[in-house]
Structure 1
Amino acid sequence: MRSSSTTDVCMIVEGCYPYVAGGVSSWINWLISGLPDLTFSVVAVLASSQNGTPKYKLPPNVKHYQELALFDIHDPEPVPDYGTSSTQGISRELRAFLKNGSKARLYDLDRLVNSTTRPWSINQLTHSDLTWNVICQMYEEILPETSFHHFFWAWYTLFGGLFAVLKAPIPQARAYHTISTGYAGLFAARAALSTQAPAIITEHGIYTNERRIEILLADWIEDSINKGFSLDDPRLDLRDLWISAFEAFARCCYNSCSDITTLYKDNQLMQLSQGACQSKMQVIPNGINLDKFKSAQAQHDNHKPTVALIGRVVAIKDVKSFIHAVGLLKNELPDVNALILGPTDEEPTYFEECHKLAVQLGLEETITFTGPVNIAEYLPSIDLVALTSLSEAQPLVLLEAGAAGIPCVATDVGSCREVLEGRADDPHPLGSGGIITELVSPSATAQAMAKLLRDDELRQQYGVQLRQRIERDYNEHQALKSYKGLYERNFERQRPKAKHLFA
């Protein structure tokens, strides 16, 4: 662990950097490396302590690094005899926080569990008679009609993680910058309330929306209450508890931050719906190193037509739809070559399913899974980049392909349409840089790829137009200048004294 005194910025990340490769992690590494005059600390919020090898080497201006494991198993400890008021107090504060996500309630919870006169350890808060009593009391008060067994594990996950955030040490920094709401957002909110330094959030995808989709689709959450077709049934079920908790986390984070940034305008609608204040909001698009990818521009020679999916082989990228699309495309262009460029170790079972699917479709000689590679080295031999993701924010792969003059076919998620076609309010439109398709539609993806691969003139035109848009709207100098200004503005901002925090 690197350690130092006060840094300029404390970056708080959840479930990604430095252990997981991907767009968000690459962005974090890019931002820190791109501002060498600033010092950073990094707090990595993880499900459990990691023993693996990080995917990223920390830049030299990272002076402090710590991990916050949310769900490590702790040995039980005896609980101090603070009386029954302890159970009632913690239960009351948790219910109040769950109800409205108020930063005042988070502040009260922080003072309660970190009291100088009645301190609690993380073990006592999560593995003790106190834990059991709080769970039983909250069960009776908010979800008595559900399965206690399932409520127990939901409570342990949601509030055990919250307690881990409340008990974690806070690095000293001039500003705290979180990359999501959730537990990272709670840590940023707590840090701002505790140190009176400003907090900032930059959202790529909207964390609360992503969790809501997962929760609604989860088959491990039991539905205990049959509400039929009623729209006004006041009873809460376990899915309601999960969603309410993450919505409360988001409101608390947004209300504690002085600036709320995201990568594209449409994200702001979801942020507003979760309690973000419009006057704090700003769009800062991703930026990339244009020179790096200009030298990797596509070679228009006589090589086999080549399409590539660039990204991790994980379910959210819907790689199976790409494989099916390649199978359909091969019927029309028998000599097509397909590359899947990216790590295969994050979801091993899904990778095996994708590999078997390629074999079943007779595509062993057509599709190549490369694993992690230097993308810039492959771009000159690629005619077309495809993206079949189910969810994205502002995919770096589209920006990188565009900088190399390679047109793209992408599903209509995140800002893909904005990147490929331009903003609807663009006063100087540049024309299309690719084709947008519907989700989970191998046939639509195959048709779009075939259209561009058959028409060299159209493909090259789209590549030129996309490169012009990337050069104008998504260069790293603009993005780094925006973040440098954001930080400097917050360094100058004075936090109110504690008695005025919740006015």
Structure 2
Amino acid sequence: MSSDRPRVCLILEGSYPYITGGVSSWVHQLISALPQVDFALYTISPKAEQPLHYDLPKNVVEHRDMVLSAKLKTDSKPPDREFMFEQIRKLHDAFEAGSTPDFGLLMELMPSGYFPYRDAVTSDAGWDLISRGNQLNNPVYPFSDYFWAWKSSHDMLFTIIGADAPAADLYHAVSTGYAGLAAVVAKLRTGRPYLLTEHGLYHKEREMEIRRVRFIRGYQRDMWIRIYNDLSRLSYKYADLVIALFEYNRRVQIEMGAREERTQVIANGIDVDFFSSVKRQRREGFHVGLVGRVVPIKDVKTFIAMSRVVKDRHPEAQFYCIGPTDEDPAYFEDCRTMVRSFRLTDCFHFTGRVDVREYYSFLDVLLLTSVREAQPLVVLEAYCAGIPVVATRVGNIPELLDYDDRFLAASKDPEKLAQAVSYVHDNPAEMAGIVDANREKAHTFYNRNSVYQRYLELYRSMAKEEAWQA
């Protein structure tokens, strides 16, 4: 491997190249834009043999997929099993006390190729750890509930810790969580640097998902939330550089253990010329579109509820949910049922996967109803295409919309969103000036060529360095 042509291992959890979306699109464009870099993909997946949704660029020289729930065959042993589990107990104690422990000693005691799925529950130290944890944290519910929750969560951690990532000059994780843990392990085993880019805040997103699941209760729920928080803190401690998309998230990363001098903000970027080339061809009526996957985090149901309110005020309105519908079939079916219940079947359209520029050519307003976002690319795309934006007040959206409350609403507030959409409808002259200003802002601050150049510089400089010792 040569620093003139660095080899970067991208570590990806539940996204590229199997799932479409903002993060996957960002990864694909980054790889494609840097042909002078060799990329190895280390993907962490929920199941095996998923179909690829992207054609891998030629500079992807290796792809290794790790199925998180897989039980891998052990081909090595720790030098002292009981001492190793004693150190795992101390790691638990440190995390529970609110500190982020030294992970390096565990890496010395737990060799690659060792997966203690069985040893964790048959060794004296391992069983004591589980029993003591149940007595302290789970006295109300049956021990079997605690045991299986502990084992399922820790088996996935053991899979990541025991596996080897592809060889690389630099490990670049695109989230904390299991991807971040894999990067920490790779750094400690190889001595190569670890770069972390967070598009959102992984631990917050997982917490929202867990709290929506009714069958995860009591301490099981708290345990999963704490694991994801601890994984983030571990990533922030060991990353040589932590990158956020905007300043608020950088401050959160620092509060959770990232060293301030090892953090940066690099905003998202888009192909401003590509989206600015959209030729606007207005259609009769009033056209409102949401660009995104039909999944709960995008809160398409609030879009549907808002559509009913807007339709009552502006009978000529048409609504478009522009994006894939196959990621969460049950949620998609709920949305279709809701459209029928709200008597919107003649004006509400699910497009599936399409070229969004076709719709950018005639949309009168772009809507985002997400309950969580980082720095959504579709806002920048709409700006370049000349479309006003109305959105929920999440992530970096308020800053992108200049904190203008006329176009912002709280999550799950269809009435306020409808009010904002009506403002766009009723004030075309004013919106023309806002559209021009937004297009200029996107060209000035969010050109992806500048973003890719910064990453190329980071890759080249970090590939020449030894890993920073936490």
After TM superposition, the score normalised by the length of structure 2 is 0.91
Helix, strand or coil for the counterpart of 2:24? helix
What's the offset of the Cα at 1:104?
Answer: 6.9
Summarize deviations over 1:17-57 as a string: whole Å, max 9, x none: 111111011111111111111111111111232x2311111
Correspondence for 2:64 among 63, 66, 69 = 66
- Which residue of structure 2 lines up, in the alignment, with residue 131 of structure 1? 121
- Which residue of structure 2 lines up, in the alignment, with residue 141 of structure 1? 132
- Which residue of structure 1 lines up, in the alignment, with residue 83 of structure 2? 89
Alignment of 1:134-213 (within 5 A): 136-144=127-135, 145=139, 146-213=141-208
Contact 1:97 1:248 (C-alpha < 8 Å) held by counterparts: no
1 CA distance for matches of 2:127 and 2:188?
30
Alignment of 1:146-295 (within 5 A): 146-223=141-218, 237-295=219-277
Judged with a 3 Å threshold, the aligned counterparts in structure 2 of structure 1 residues 129 and 271 are, in CA distance, closer, same or farther, namely closer
Alignment of 1:39-78 (within 5 A): 39-49=38-48, 51-73=49-71
Contact 1:98 1:244 (C-alpha < 8 Å) held by counterparts: no
2 CA distance for matches of 1:417 and 1:107?
40
2:324 is aligned with 1:334: no
Q: Percent identity?
A: 33
2:470 is aligned with 1:495: no
2:412 is aligned with 1:440: yes
CA RMSD of aligned residues (A): 2.4
- Which residue of structure 2 lines up, in the alignment, with residue 226 of structure 1? none
What's the offset of the Cα at 1:395?
Answer: 0.6
Judged with a 3 Å threshold, the aligned counterparts in structure 2 of structure 1 residues 361 and 184 are, in CA distance, closer, same or farther, namely same
- Which residue of structure 1 lines up, in the alignment, with residue 441 of structure 2? 469
2 CA distance for matches of 1:74 and 1:278?
38
Judged with a 3 Å threshold, the aligned counterparts in structure 2 of structure 1 residues 219 and 403 are, in CA distance, closer, same or farther, namely same
What's the offset of the Cα at 1:96?
Answer: 2.4
Helix, strand or coil for the counterpart of 2:366? strand
- Which residue of structure 1 lines up, in the alignment, with residue 106 of structure 2? 109
Contact 2:369 2:392 (C-alpha < 8 Å) held by counterparts: yes
1 CA distance for matches of 2:242 and 2:309?
43
Contact 1:103 1:256 (C-alpha < 8 Å) held by counterparts: no
Contact 1:200 1:257 (C-alpha < 8 Å) held by counterparts: yes
- Which residue of structure 2 lines up, in the alignment, with residue 37 of structure 1? 36
- Which residue of structure 2 lines up, in the alignment, with residue 12 of structure 1? 11
Judged with a 3 Å threshold, the aligned counterparts in structure 2 of structure 1 residues 253 and 460 are, in CA distance, closer, same or farther, namely same
Contact 2:120 2:127 (C-alpha < 8 Å) held by counterparts: no
Deviates more, 1:148-157 or 1:196-205: 148-157
What's the offset of the Cα at 1:481?
Answer: 1.6
2 CA distance for matches of 1:198 and 1:184?
15
What's the offset of the Cα at 1:381?
Answer: 1.3
1 CA distance for matches of 2:231 and 2:333?
36
What's the offset of the Cα at 1:255?
Answer: 1.7
Judged with a 3 Å threshold, the aligned counterparts in structure 2 of structure 1 residues 130 and 263 are, in CA distance, closer, same or farther, namely closer
Contact 1:13 1:178 (C-alpha < 8 Å) held by counterparts: yes
Summarize deviations over 1:302-321 as a string: whole Å, max 9, x none: 52211100000011111011
2 CA distance for matches of 1:452 and 1:401?
14
What's the offset of the Cα at 1:383?
Answer: 1.0
Contact 1:79 1:130 (C-alpha < 8 Å) held by counterparts: no
Helix, strand or coil for the counterpart of 2:258? coil
Contact 2:39 2:62 (C-alpha < 8 Å) held by counterparts: yes
Summarize deviations over 1:246-265 as a string: whole Å, max 9, x none: 22222221121111001011
Helix, strand or coil for the counterpart of 2:208? helix
What's the offset of the Cα at 1:135?
Answer: 5.3
Contact 1:408 1:433 (C-alpha < 8 Å) held by counterparts: no
What's the offset of the Cα at 1:433?
Answer: 11
Summarize deviations over 1:90-120 as a string: whole Å, max 9, x none: 43222222344688743332332317xxx73
1 CA distance for matches of 2:455 and 2:252?
22
Instruction: Structure 1 unaligned segments of length 5 or more: list them.
Output: 1-5, 224-236, 423-431
- Which residue of structure 2 lines up, in the alignment, with residue 231 of structure 1? none
Helix, strand or coil for the counterpart of 1:421? coil
2 CA distance for matches of 1:403 and 1:178?
29
Matched letter for residue 482 of structure 1: R
